[in-house]
Chain A
Amino acid sequence: SKTRQSFSEKVNNLVKRYRKVDEDFFEELEDILIESDVGVTTVMDLVEKLKDEARTRNIKDSDKLKDVIVEVLSDFLTKSKDETKLNLNPDGLTVILMVGVNGAGKTTTAGKLANRLRNEGKSVLLAAADTFRAGAIDQLQVWGDRAGIDVIKHQEGSDPASVVFDALKAAKSRHADVLLCDTAGRLQNKVNLMKELEKIKRVINRECPGAPQEVLLVLDATTGQNALNQAKLFRQASDVTGIVLTKLDGTAKGGIVLAVRHELDIPVKLVGLGEKINDLQVFDADAFVYGLFSE
């Protein structure tokens, strides 16, 4: 495909500068990966693996190592073809819970995703379960209006779990296909707020066995190594099923998802590429790997 080719071009560039696979070559490769926020530990694992491959396959020309780089990086990122697919309940209500730290892009992604699912012919509802942040409910309402989707909401300051409870009731009585719950941003080290999230999840599970089908952790691509802690602790609290990597339209590479995938085995499902309603795409590992090597 096109992306693969341009990715190869980038790797070609690296390869041109270093004909031989030597320490300098690997050092530069290390720098590129570190600069993309892949994280030192994962970078060292990756480079070790590459060195091994080079040794066993007796590769001396950097030119020949190219494909191995692509292979190894893609391996780190994807385990199976289907893993970007959202887990939607084929008969009955699907509940999707958006979680993440402050400002990552939960509300925006909820709006975009609601719109996308609606365009696929599903009936969708939004739940405004961020009752804490100033203007959060109005923000989600604007997204609801843009997508033509109803928003279930309470007063600012009310209990988020009870918003979700009401939204579940509404979704059931209206026979909605999907209920998307926005939640307040919370830093993963805030024990009380993480407990609140557990409670929201419990309510969903109690009212709707088998749900939530998806708990999407929204990660800002500009985030560095802290994303690993985010993934660890949000998974503990809410059994994260997938990641949405937002703000990839900037210059940050979001390489930390390699570490998240590698160390925690959580797949990236969607990426955010802007602030408009259609700026949401299914994660494409090849395009992503290409991005790691672009200027």
Chain B
Amino acid sequence: MAFESLAGRLQETMKKIRGKGKVSEADVKQMAREVRLALLEADVNFKVVKSFVSRIQERAVGQEVLKSLTPGQQVIKVVQEELANLMGGDQTKLNFALKPPTVILFVGLQGAGKTTSAAKLANFIRKANNKKPMMIAADVYRPAAIKQLQTLGGQLNIPVFTLGDKVSPVEIVRQGIEQAKAEHNDLILIDTAGRLHVDDVLMDELEQIKAVSHPDEIFLVVDAMTGQDAVNVASSFNDRLDLTGVIMTKLDGDTRGGAALSIRSVTGTPIKFVGMGEKMDAIEPFHPDRMASRILGMGDVLSLIEKA
């Protein structure tokens, strides 16, 4: 599973320092080097890694550690706190409109998992919050994108609004929302075409879609296997659209998933859901704090510190 090998790497490093009764600057340096490697191999953005490593280094040779009785464990605590910081705190809840319908817009690069995630989330919220969803097919570019959404809608028994692929996405969204209101759908999910964050024309289109649909959530859908470019992508989409959350997909793979850490730390946008497979029920709310603990195997380490 994703994150696991990052977890393994960091735990190995932490083991070496855990029992130390005295921590020298050289120890910290060595640890910092290993942490840096582990994070880079997990695709955490190199700038994020730089500042992360210098923060833990600074704190680990500081007073709070040197003066403690268990410096080794104290160092681990520092790493854990900084990691939790990087991932963000508690799970963030979905924003629902005070006056229905609630509108959720899905955006992102090509092939990230927008269409699949839109259908999964429609199904998830329908069950969890007892809503009556409708999906809008606003991808008029990708071959058979509408068909894909219709097929998923059919499987889930969720209506899909389409005007074919000859009408502009902005117009489709405008009319789709009218229709949803008329039919008393209180949850609208808008699937958009994949696009590059540097494609001005298509990024403008998203701004227009946002303007006509007043979304309560704008989710950037990101492939968990994304490398160093994740921060550029997320920052660009965020600058244009003010994202409210991120959905990380394909976490059922064996990626180390460092993009999750970078995006949160660079844009401040929380990861709200993760995709765990191709099936329609493979979506879960994301708990950053739990994930940070899991990465360091902190369950036991923290309790060790508490005992000490």
Question: Which of A31, A138, A141, A188 is within 8 Å of B254, CB to CB?
Answer: A188
A247 and B152 CA atoms in complex are apart in Å by 26
Cβ of B253 and Cβ of A247 under 8 Å apart? no
Q: Mark A97-111, 1 if CB is under 8 A from B, else 0.
A: 000011111000000
Measured between beta carbons, the chain B residues less than 8 angstroms from A40 are: 37, 40-41
Cβ of B256 and Cβ of A226 under 8 Å apart? yes
Is B101 positioned at the interface, with any CB of A under 8 Å from its CB? no
Is A215 positioned at the interface, with any CB of B under 8 Å from its CB? no
Is A133 positioned at the interface, with any CB of B under 8 Å from its CB? yes
Cβ of A187 and Cβ of B252 under 8 Å apart? yes
Measured between beta carbons, the chain B residues less than 8 angstroms from A31 are: 46
Measured between beta carbons, the chain A residues less than 8 angstroms from B40 are: 34, 40
From A83-91, A173-181, A248-256, the one touching the partner chain is: A248-256
Question: Which of A36, A41, A190, A223 is within 8 Å of B225, CB to CB?
Answer: A223
Measured between beta carbons, the chain A residues less than 8 angstroms from B252 are: 187, 189-190
Measured between beta carbons, the chain A residues less than 8 angstroms from B299 are: none
Measured between beta carbons, the chain B residues less than 8 angstroms from A36 are: 228
Question: Which of B42, B111, B149 is within 8 Å of A104, CB to CB?
Answer: B111
Cβ of B42 and Cβ of A189 under 8 Å apart? no
Q: A40-B40, A250-B198 are in contact. Are A223 and B226 (CB under 8 A)?
A: yes
A178 and B29 CA atoms in complex are apart in Å by 57
- A residues 229-280 with Cβ under 8 Å of B? 229, 247, 249-253, 256, 275
Question: Which of B46, B150, B155, B226 is within 8 Å of A34, CB to CB?
Answer: B46
Cβ of A133 and Cβ of B227 under 8 Å apart? no
Is A162 positioned at the interface, with any CB of B under 8 Å from its CB? no
Q: Mark B235-250, 1 if CB is under 8 A from A, else 0.
A: 0000000000000001
Measured between beta carbons, the chain B residues less than 8 angstroms from A222 are: 109, 223, 226-227, 229-230, 233
Q: A103-B223, A225-B43, A226-B225 are in contact. Are A249 and B151 (CB under 8 A)?
A: no
Q: A31-B46, A40-B41, A223-B227 are in contact. Are A249 and B196 (CB under 8 A)?
A: yes
- Report B114 CB to chain A, min CB distance, Å: 10
Interface residue count on the B side (C-beta < 8 Å): 44
A226 and B230 CA atoms in complex are apart in Å by 14
Measured between beta carbons, the chain A residues less than 8 angstroms from B227 are: 37, 222-225, 252, 256
Cβ of B254 and Cβ of A229 under 8 Å apart? yes
Give the interface size class of chain A: 35 or more
- What does DSSP make chain A's interface, helix, strand, loop or mixed? loop
Cβ of A139 and Cβ of B253 under 8 Å apart? no
A47 and B228 CA atoms in complex are apart in Å by 19
A179 and B40 CA atoms in complex are apart in Å by 40
A37 and B43 CA atoms in complex are apart in Å by 8
Measured between beta carbons, the chain A residues less than 8 angstroms from B109 are: 222, 247, 250
Is B213 positioned at the interface, with any CB of A under 8 Å from its CB? no
Is B255 positioned at the interface, with any CB of A under 8 Å from its CB? yes
- Report A29 CB to chain B, min CB distance, Å: 13
A189 and B4 CA atoms in complex are apart in Å by 13
From B13-21, B121-129, B140-148, the one touching the partner chain is: B140-148
Measured between beta carbons, the chain A residues less than 8 angstroms from B43 are: 37, 224-226
Measured between beta carbons, the chain B residues less than 8 angstroms from A256 are: 227
Measured between beta carbons, the chain A residues less than 8 angstroms from B150 are: 135
Is A9 positioned at the interface, with any CB of B under 8 Å from its CB? no
Cβ of A225 and Cβ of B152 under 8 Å apart? no
Measured between beta carbons, the chain B residues less than 8 angstroms from A37 are: 43, 227-229
A138 and B144 CA atoms in complex are apart in Å by 6
- A residues 109-148 with Cβ under 8 Å of B? 132-136, 138-139, 141-143
Question: Which of A142, A143, A224, A250 is within 8 Å of B258, CB to CB?
Answer: A224
Cβ of B143 and Cβ of A138 under 8 Å apart? yes
Identify the 7 closest CB pairs spanning chains A and B, nearest first: A224-B227, A103-B111, A135-B148, A224-B43, A142-B143, A134-B151, A138-B144
A-B contact pairs, 20 of them (CB 8 A): A34-B40, A34-B46, A34-B228, A102-B250, A103-B110, A103-B112, A134-B147, A138-B144, A139-B148, A141-B144, A222-B223, A223-B227, A224-B255, A224-B258, A225-B42, A225-B227, A226-B43, A247-B110, A251-B229, A275-B141
